[in-house]
Amino acid sequence: MGGFSAASAAERCAVGIHTSPSSPVSHPRSRRQQQPAPPVRRRRLAAPLAVSRRSLLVPHAVAASTDRASPEAVGRFNLESNSELQVTVNAAPQGAIAEINFEATNTSGSLVLHWGALRPDRGEWLLPSRRPDGTTTFKNQALRTPFVKSGDNSTLRVEIDDPAVQAIEFLLFDEARNKWFKNNGQNFLIQLPTSRNQGQGASGATAVPEDLVQIQSYLRWERNGKQSYTSDQEKVEYEAARAELTEELNRGVPLEKLRARLTETPESSERDAPASKTTATKELEKRASKQEKKKKKYSVERIQRKNRDITQLLNKHKPGVTKEQVQAAPKQPTVLDLFTKSLQEGDDCDVLSRKLFKIGDKEILAIATKALGKTRVHLATNDAEPLILHWALAKKAGEWEAPPSSIAPSGSTLLDKACETSFVESELDGLQYQVVEIELDDDGYKGMPFVLRHGETWIKNNDSDFYLDFKTKVTKKAKVIDTGDAGKGTAKAFLERIADLEEDAQRSFMHRFNIAADLVDQARDAGLLGIVGLFVWIRFMSTRQLIWNKNYNVKPREISKAQDRFTDDLENMYKSYPQYREILRMILSAVGRGGEGDVGQRIRDEILVIQRNNDCKGGMMEEWHQKLHNNTSPDDVVICQAIIDYIKSDFDISVYWDTLNKNGINKERLLSYDRAIHSEPKFRSDQKEGLLRDLGNYMRSLKAVHSGADLESAIATCMGYKSEGEGFMVGVQINPVKGLSSGFPELLQFVLDHVEDKSAEPLLEGLLEARVELRPLLIESSERLKDLIFLDIALDSTFRTAVERSYEELNDAAPEKIMYFIGLVLENLALSTDDNEDILYCLKGWNQAMEMVKQKDDQWALYAKACLDRTRLALASKGEQYYNMMQPSAEYLGSLLNVDEWAVDIFTEEIIRGGSAATLSALLNRFDPVLRNVAHLGSWQVISPVEVTGYVVVVDKLLSVQNKSYDKPTILMAKSVKGEEEIPDGVVGVITPDMPDVLSHVSVRARNCKVLFATCFDPNTLSELQGHEGKVFSFKTTSADVTYREITESELMQSSSANAQAGEAIASLSLVKKKFLGKYAISAEDFTEEMVGAKSRNIAYLKGKVPSWVGIPTSVAIPFGTFEKVLSDDTNKEVAQNIQMLKGRLAQDDFSALGEMRKTVLDLTAPTQLVTELKEKMLSSGMPWPGDESDQRWEQAWMAIKKVWASKWNERAYFSTRKVKLDHDYLSMSVLVQEIVNADYAFVIHTTNPSSGDSSEIYAEVVKGLGETLVGAYPGRAMSFVCKKDDLDSPKVLGYPSKPIGLFIKRSIIFRSDSNGEDLEGYAGAGLYDRLVNFFHETRFTHMLKNSFSITAKECACFSVPMDEEDQVVLDYTTDALITDSGFRSSILSSIARAGHAIEELYGSPQDVEGVVKDGKIYVVQTRPQM
């Protein structure tokens, strides 16, 4: 046996060598004219990566056929049809020079030998110093030697003088033709006679056959107790086995004797039977090979993940929807649109079917209608050329039947099988068109085939007849064409274009994918909503909501080519538009990979070979074969798997049906195919082995075309493979993707080896590591990007499946393990998300929580609970983003295409359920009760502790009922409470799973109105309470718990007076109308009750009275009456008239006037005197004057002032004053002007704990950045703490922050509302006007709730308008000293508590204090009595 086996050659593979001419792989879009990369010698991998029955493509060297006993070895290789290569090796004495002669017949004169030598002690090619003339070095990796032309042949001689060289490996390159020649797609390899090296002793190098090294390494492993080796240990063991055998050979032990000892066979066996192996040899080699392939004994049981900075995974591509995209002007109606509309306006006209055809740059519209019992066909075209309609009628598919003369339009000509009718010119709204109208006399006709003729030129529909199907289910487009809101929030025109093309798309997958490819540019031009519309259409297709094939025979390779064209276009968009990548991944996943050429055709060809090779030409296999020939689809992947499962189960037919049914295929669906499958599979036991082999290979072809998330085929496509199948699979070859990291093959092998492990943790780590390794190539738009995307999709899909499989494993897991799993799932979600900053900071938070557990920090559970709450917010935000982005398109396109209503309703929900977000949500739900138990948080948070009784009513959102009045005591179970809502009249209690801040507006209002307000964290308790809707319940509270019971209505009547008071409207109050007292601006010393509100007066009062370490910002004010004075100025006469008119509309309860009122106020012009006085007061107080920077800066300040004035007419404030019978006209608005402190933190203090009523305890909440995220009801919780007034150095943290957003601003001026209605005694008016973000633009919330006069939470909070816009920053709490440094935290919280206590003592009553922290210093920006 020769010294080099095929296995040893495999170790010296030349990765990346291009496909040989004899077995090309067609990639026409990838063809290049430049010279392909030559082979490069690579070091040995621990084990070749295998995928199922394929091996990844590593071009193997092939051993030449040599005979050691012969003095000359000869190799003969075919190069082309009339050309071959002959190689001879001259025998040489031991240690002498070996001579290798090459002769290539019928070649050009530009042939080059690209070569290197092989030694057993080196992994790369050796470049011998003895070289033929003309030899050059190529990149220090190979030698290149030109052949010498001799007639029609080319010759070359190479001499090797190094006795350690065992073989040479090479390729041929024809420079003139830029063409490589290989040996069946692999390197040529010629061994040198072993007599040259034998007897070299220890200094020599003797090659050991790889099969013997493999057996020796296996025996060593058994002797060592079958240990689990690491990858490095495995390599060491393998080389140690080689060294042992090499040493024996160098000592003179004959190879035959060595083989006999290892295989326990007589020495003569090899001589006697060289072509066969003994049973013992085969068995031992089989065991060794099995051990090598399985790798679970040799390989590590989990990978070592690289240490990375998580923020390296950051994506900040936000797929925004511009106002122009959403509110794009409707396209100008064409004459065909007008024609359609004119038909619809007819009496009782129903559209039976409608089809729009393209004829060049013109269109022809065919419509069948039924009106007054008559069926009519209308054909209209915007083509101006004179046209003749050549038409017929059909009662079955493919039929042409001449119509009766009685229905032929006037002037028609009847032919044998058809009729010809000239189009008649007509006009609509000045637009010209041509039309033919035909009234039918028989409802039995199925459709109308037709073509057009212009003179002698025939016009057809892409080489086919036009056809209008009368029985086609009519789309609803005609019914919604002119309804106002239909299609709002979508790329409406683009969706209607899809609907027009759907009937063509239904002919086959080839048609659908080609149409989809044609639509890609239109989708891109429509922006995000266009991409979403394309996704919705493809998703409807993949979920079988649309027809896949309508009696159209198409070749699989044509489907594959169309699919490849579409996915190539998506790949190109993926490269150029990173903000759309998340949606494009979804489209690609729904479509599958595709592949031009033989990939698709193999589906058609291989089924025939399977039938022939396995003697199964009839029955179900023949029916499936006919279906495959007619039109292959993703169902075929399921059918193939069902057959495989059936065979593996020893032909249990119930297993076949179980696999089908689990994947959505039942008997009715099998019968619905154009080539129906009626039969069940039925095979013989002797067919089992061959069918499993061939169907396994066939499954790869099916998945290569139809599956976008199949892991095995995705890995094979990226890493390369050459199939080991027989017959039809020979020559199926895919090259590896370039640029993958060196350890990537082993990483993917690890994934495949562990993909079915019961314990999923090592697999999850491997999958994530692979995705992270892929990420740079996905970002850099690498070559063969599409294959990499499909690999990433497959890794993601496998990850989700593995997590779901691990739920049982986590049932009794320690908290640390659950947190670790949550971190893994978050990382996986981040890798699939275009804008993942918040997700990454959630991940960093969980990692910090795990570190706190290791350090035995007793705060870990409290901190982890905040991480959990923030993660839930991130998922909710993601779900809301998907819903707003996708659902309108699903609903509109679904209506156009008649998609089942249930499928439309759950469209977005199913998208979310299928992603990592749903997996993560399930983990969080499992972990929440664990955390609450460890942190002693209980199931309730009581925000307003009141004992109440009332009727249970369930609502989705408190916002949607805030203006409603209930006529009996009501306890609302509100699924959503954001924090800025009003408590409806008649409501005595609100229970919610949401977590508004304890100091949010709704929390304060609940306490002031004596309404029970509590958060319930236990979903089972919530579900139980919701199930009692309509019943009467009694609720009692403590500071941390709620008890409840059902009571009778008579008990309700006898309930305490406190309950009767709860929820009732406050008694009518009165306001004193303020007058303008002659000053447009005043400084703090002039802050009096006649001039400004309590907010400004309190700030002035604090100045100089609080401790010196508490800062008070400098303030000036625009006093009461100034707005009315400005409005009365002559320059604002028109504005005043408009406001008076709008007040009249308000008096008539036309509440839409509120928004118009706010906008009208913004038209005010500033009187010169106002500008002069405000400038003087600001400068004299030490504040900067905006106008000194530029006129534009003053205009910004003036706009901010007007927005504060306009806030008088915000919806929440208006309805709140009506509720307590305040005269809204008497509300006056002063404006407090302060310089903004660019805060590190902001806080709100209640100097008496509002939850417990404990006056000895201060309660406070702190946020990072400006306080608007706290008072403005931004999502998430603030950090909360309590502090005993007699121990202000010992604050106790109640909860860590979960708010994802912080607001930061440069040095600027802020303008705060300060009305005469905010602090009326007994009226909880505080917060009506404290914050304005963007009041003057309609948002999705105002649109959704406009009928209940509600606005967004951020818009309806109290009004403070900064002159400059704040920066929204996604917060990373793991770098925040307030979280990570306990000493810093204690110092800051103690200082906040001390400031609150000092102010309370100054006023002598509980206070509600707002302030900020900057560089450790406390600033108080306002205080008022705590309500």
Active site residues per annotation: 1001
Distance of alpha carbon 922 from the chain centroid: 18
Structural tokens at position 1151: 């509440």
For residues 398 and 4, give the distance between their C-alpha atoms in angstroms, rounded to a whole number: 65
Q: Which residues of 969-990 are buried (b: 16+ CB within 10 A; e: fewer)?
A: bbbbbbeebbbbbbbbbbbbbb
Strand partners, 117: 126, 168
3-state secondary structure of 675: coil
Nearest CA-CA partner of 1119 in 1156, 1072, 1080? 1080
Q: What value, to the nearest 5°, has the Cα angle with vertex 839 and ends 833 and 844?
A: 135
State the Cα–Cα distance between residues 1206 and 1200, nearest whole angstrom: 10
**Three-class DSSP category at 145:** strand
Q: Which of 810, 235, 217, 834 lies closest to 578, judged by CA?
A: 834
Helix (H) or strand (E) run with residue 1259 in it: strand 1257-1264
Half-sphere exposure of 1094 (CA within 13 A, CB side): 15
Q: Which strands make up the sheet holding 1417-1425, listed edge to edge?
A: 1110-1111, 1417-1425, 1407-1414, 1241-1246, 1257-1264, 1279-1284, 1292-1295
How far is it, in rounded angstroms, from Cα 1315 to Cα 1208?
9
- The amino acid occupying position 1373 is Y
Question: Could you say which DSSP state residue 1119 is in?
Answer: -
CB 706 within 8 A of CB 634: yes
> What span, in angstroms and rounded, lies between the C-alpha atoms of 847 and 814?
15
DSSP of 102-141? EEESS--TTEEEEEEEE-TT-SSPB--S---TT-EEETTT
CA distance 938 to 579: 42
Q: Token pair for residue 503?
A: 């009937």
Give 1177-1239 as a DSSP string.
HHHHTTPPPGGGT-HHHHHHHHHHHHHHHHGGG-HHHHHHHHHTT--GGG--EEEEEEEPP--
Buried b (16+ CB within 10 A) or exposed e, 1046-1081: ebeeeebeebeeebeebbeebeebebeebebeebbb
Which residues pair with residue 1411 across a beta bridge?
1243, 1420
**Residue partners of 276: CB distance under 8 A and separation at least 6:** none
End-to-end CA distance of the chain: 97
Q: Are 438 and 376 contacting, i.e. CB atoms less than 8 angstroms apart?
A: yes
Contact at 8 Å (CB) between 392 and 401?
Answer: yes
| DSSP 8-state secondary structure symbol assigned to residue 1427 | -
Distance, in Å, from the CA atom of 1099 to the CA atom of 1112, rounded to the nearest integer, reads: 7
Contact assessment for residue 579 and residue 885, using Cβ atoms and an 8 Å cutoff? no
User: What gap in Å lies between CA 1290 and CA 1183, rounded to an integer?
Assistant: 37
